């Protein structure tokens, strides 16, 4: 496996950014804002728990390779690890040798400071600095929906497939434009919401669930599961979470439990209308 000791990076890239340097500088600024104390910790705890639950539901426990070689996982951005507790520690304690990438050096440095077991590197997800078939699992949580175009998403998908081992699994989430609130946020209301601070960082192109599943298949993977996640009324939940930042742990836990109850909507026929993200689990079949 190449780059065993490497560092990683990348929340995708800023929509319509003119260069990789501009993208890096932009996400450095976003990472610095969160590192210095944006008051969204309770909301980020909820999204971390939601992602961890998805990992536990869809990924089998890691199986060591011959000779006891530890299974490997790649996380395609490290913003979760700066904005909240993140997922790296969970992947590591589950048994994976975890690597992360991010396009922001600030985000990479802070993620490493908080997670010394992490291997990380500043990199663009469209040009991963790893050999073919390096990872047993790739987790890409709302990374690719910060690009300017679907072509960028497709290019990044090819890289994720390239570094995935045969029989390896990709767990991918993207903004779900079938949800009217996501469509409005990413489209006609975006500039206004950015000015008001309701959308605190750049968003980009995305795909509806059917087109996303087709892209995953066209990239060479077999889709095993498709789901819609995060069903609570997001704007209200973020606002309420901010109001509860200074409350007791018991009050905060009751709030988090109330948000989790919305996830029952995943079982409803209308799940893609209420879910903020499309989630896909896919596998790279072994060549015969």
pLDDT band at 39 (very low <50, low <70, confident <90, very high): low
Which residue range forms the structural domain that includes residue 59? 20-283
Into how many domains does the chain fold? 1
What mean pLDDT comes out for the span 165-174?
96
CATH number for the domain that contains residue 76:
3.40.50.150
8 lies in some domain: no
- pTM here is 0.88
**CA neighbor of 143 nearest in space, from 231, 205, 229:** 205
61 lies in some domain: yes
**28/66 Cα distance (integer angstroms):** 40
% residues pLDDT > 90 (the chain):
68
**C-alpha pair distances (Å), 90 with each of 26, 55, 70, 94, 169:** 28, 9, 15, 6, 17
Assess whether pLDDT exceeds 60 at residue 279: yes
5 lies in some domain: no
95 lies in some domain: yes
Question: What pLDDT sits at residue 20?
Answer: 67
41 lies in some domain: yes
What mean pLDDT comes out for the span 81-93?
93
Q: What is the 3-state secondary structure (H, E, C) of 9-51?
A: ECCCCCCCCCCHHHHHHHHHHHHHHHHCCCCCHHHHHHHHHHH
15 lies in some domain: no
| pLDDT single digits (tens) 178-237 | 999 888 877 766 566 666 666 667 778 999 999 999 999 999 999 999 999 999 999 899
269 lies in some domain: yes
């Amino acid at each position: 496996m190449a780059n065993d000791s490497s560092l990683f990076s990348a929340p995708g890239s800023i929509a319509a950014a003119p260069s990789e340097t501009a993208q890096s500088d932009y996400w450095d600024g976003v990472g610095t804002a969160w590192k210095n104390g944006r008051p969204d910790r309770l909301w980020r705890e909820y999204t971390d728990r939601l992602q961890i639950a998805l990992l536990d539901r869809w990924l089998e426990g890691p199986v060591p390779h011959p000779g006891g070689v530890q299974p490997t996982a790649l996380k395609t951005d490290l913003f979760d690890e700066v904005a909240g507790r993140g997922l790296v520690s969970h992947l590591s304690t589950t048994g994976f040798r975890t690597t992360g990438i991010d396009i922001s050096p600030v985000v990479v440095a802070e993620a490493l400071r908080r997670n010394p077991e992490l291997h990380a590197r500043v990199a663009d997800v469209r040009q991963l600095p790893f050999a073919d078939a390096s990872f047993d699992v790739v987790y890409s949580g709302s990374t690719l929906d910060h690009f300017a175009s679907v072509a960028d998403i497709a290019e990044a998908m090819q890289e994720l497939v390239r570094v995935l081992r045969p029989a390896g699994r990709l767990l991918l989430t993207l903004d779900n434009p079938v949800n009217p609130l996501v469509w409005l946020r990413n489209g006609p209301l975006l500039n206004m919401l950015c000015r008001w601070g309701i959308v605190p960082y750049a968003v980009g192109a995305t795909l509806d669930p059917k087109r996303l599943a087709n892209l995953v298949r066209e990239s060479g993977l077999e889709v095993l599961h498709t789901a819609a996640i995060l069903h609570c009324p997001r704007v209200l939940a973020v606002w309420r979470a901010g109001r509860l930042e200074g409350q007791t742990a018991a009050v905060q836990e009751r709030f988090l439990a109330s948000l989790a109850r919305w996830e029952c909507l995943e079982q409803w026929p209308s799940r893609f209308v209420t879910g903020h993200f499309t989630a896909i689990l896919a596998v790279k079949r072994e060549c015969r």
